[in-house]
Amino acid sequence: MVDRIGFIGLGIMGRPMARNLMKAGFPLTVWNRSRPGIDELVSEGAAEGDSAAEVARRSDVVITMVGDSPDVEQVALGANGIIEGAHAGLVHIDTSTISPDVTRRIAEQLAEAGVEMLDAPVSGGQQGAIDGTLSIMAGGKAETLERCRPVLAAMGGKIVHCGASGAGQTVKLCNQIAVAITNLGVCEALVFAARSGIDPRVMVEAVSAGAGTSWQLQNLAPRMVARDFRPGFKVAHQHKDLRLALETARAMAAPLPGTGLVAELFAKLEADGLGEEGTQALVKALEAPAGVEVH
């Protein structure tokens, strides 16, 4: 029997992830706080639930992809939340990026209602969600992951069991630390090249073939040069993830100086009203002090 899937959170990432589940043949019920995502998926064959609780009642596995820790708490444990639609065999897979501590707390409360939970944040951005090639970092019981592996495989190309509840979120924060600091390095290289009178496109072509290459150099740098700041992953979301990493590190007394610096730059971008732009807009935080525009 094919699992009935519920999907909650139909934004930049959620829509293509949900679409790939339908392509894989899973019956899908969706809910979102706003209509556009619901209408789009329903027009393509999904059913509509009138609340997170209703989606849970009609599903074997319910997936969430929402913004931050309070959003997951609300949709999982709040009024008309997943916990109110709990039934035997239900699994909640949270693909959002949130606090590991909050994840463990939600998992404990869901377990009391008989619901298993996997924290399974993803990496790969909008294009990875569209292509179904996301990297999925899963925390929770190994047997629950194995049961849900076919569901996750419809959305991702790499699925790694990272450990107990909260481990997936911890590994995702590791990913975000590495991503953001690498992005900063790419931005600095572009600004340095432009300030030196070098065509940034030439620099990207040359460095992409050497040890300095990265996903950010190959994918984000061309967008920076083209002044294309449409989001595949938003500044506001990157800033939120870095805040979570710093909060978690502070509780462990683990120094993250590079993360602190890049978090400040993303905070400045958000304060300047650029929170809805893609993370490639980080280059703007360096251009003004350097007196140059990368193009």
pLDDT tens-digit map of 110-167: 999 999 999 999 999 899 999 999 999 999 999 999 999 999 999 999 999 999 999 9
Is the model's pLDDT at 24 over the cut of 60?
yes
Residue 78 pLDDT exceeds 70: yes
Burial group, residue 181, by CB count within 10 angstroms (0-12, 13-18, 19+):
middle
Q: What is the pLDDT of residue 1?
A: 57
Query: In CATH, which of 1.10.10.10, 3.40.440.10, 1.10.1040.10, 1.20.1250.20 is domain 170-290?
Result: 1.10.1040.10
Mean pLDDT of 181-193: 98
Contact 232, 278 (CB under 8 A): yes
* Distance in angstroms between the alpha carbons of the first and the last residue of the chain: 54
**pLDDT recorded at residue 7:** 98
Here the tokens at position 176 are 């975000």
Name the burial class of residue 210, with classes exposed (0-12), middle (13-18) and buried (19+) by CB atoms within 10 angstroms of its CB. exposed
Looking at every residue in the chain, the average pLDDT score rounds to: 96
> For residues 138 and 159, is the Cβ–Cβ distance under 8 A?
yes
What kind of fold does domain 5-163 have according to CATH?
Answer: Rossmann fold (3.40.50)
Phi, psi of 4 (to 5 degrees): -85, 130
Provide the token pair at 236.
Answer: 């506001």
Which residue, among 215, 284, 206, has the nearest Cα to 198 in the 3D structure? Answer: 206
Task: Kindly state the average pLDDT of the residues 174-191.
Answer: 98
Q: Across-strand partners of 139?
A: 119, 163
| Domain residue ranges in the chain | 5-163, 170-290
**What CA–CA distances, in Å, run from 95 to 10, 64, 155?**
12, 6, 11
Cβ distance 270 to 236 under 8 Å? yes
Give pLDDT, residue 137. 98
Longest CA pairwise span in the chain (Å) = 65
The residue from 172, 234, 240, 284 that is catalytic is 172
Can 158 be counted among the known catalytic residues?
A: no
Q: What percent of the chain has pLDDT over 70?
A: 99
Note whether 5-163 and 170-290 share their fold.
no
pTM above 0.85, yes or no: yes
